[in-house]
Amino acid sequence: MEQEDIDDFFTNSERYLRNVAVDNVIFGYHEKELTVLLQQPFSVDKWTVTGGYIKKTESLEEAANRIAFSRTGLKGLFFQQFHSFGSPQRVIDSGFTAEHLSEMSGIQVPSSSWIFDYFVSVGFYTLTEFSKVDVKKGPYEAGCQWWPVHDLPPMMFDHKLIIAEALKALRLHIAHFPIGYELLPEKFTLPEIHSLYETILGKRLDDRNFSKRLMATGIIIKLNETKKIGAHRSPFLYKFDKERYQEGLKSGVELAF
């Protein structure tokens, strides 16, 4: 949340939905590694996914977009709601107390505040090309940075579970929808998209079978351009057919491996 959003929340909390929040798992892909953008509150040796409260004037999707924009500086990202999380114990954490919030915000937060009640979180995962993100930390955060999904720091609340469920949903969706478009540069080689799918799915994929199935969908176009990656290696570049890509998101494609 931005400074003005935080000040508004603590002084005008009636403008926000009670007991419902949005948690946004922002995935990126960099150097053959799937990463997730995490934030660290001040004075806490733990991290969280990017999330926040929902204004009564906005939809869940609008809240998720606002939160993602505040961390990445990007609009028009791919969003997918994947799960909801609810447990009477999920908001209990030593780093989330009235004393700690009062110290960080400079506003007296009573221990009886509704923000310490049973909270349901609606989970979204967000995909973005790593190189386009201008990471921004919030005013009450010690840091905001990318972490490999297989090497996460200590997490607050149930956010380790949230990331695990987001990854499970991403693996299911990428096998049936062409969402690799969101994580790659505009132009890429077949080995690069092959590596992306292997990284996300967490398993080896046969080169020829993968390329054959991918090309059969018609969602990528071979360009009359090559990428020089060695003295004798200049593979052809490809890009997504945006129209076929949009159709694939709506109706699905046969990419299950």
Q: What is the pLDDT of residues 33-80, one digit of tens each?
A: 999 999 998 778 899 999 988 999 999 999 999 999 999 999 999 999
Dihedral in degrees, nearest 10, Cα atoms 141, 157, 198, 124 = -80
Share of the chain above pLDDT 90, in %: 52
pTM of the model: 0.87
How high is the pLDDT of residue 253? Answer: 75
For the chain, what percentages of helix, strand and coil (3-state, to nearest 5) are there? Answer: 35, 30, 35
pLDDT above 90 (res 88): no
Burial degree of 116 (CB within 10 A; 0-12, 13-18, 19+): middle
What was the pLDDT predicted at 256? 63
Question: How big is the chain, counted in residues?
Answer: 257
**211: Cβ contacts below 8 Å, ≥ 6 apart:** 190, 194
Cα–Cα distance measured from residue 105 to residue 48, given in angstroms and rounded to the nearest whole number: 18
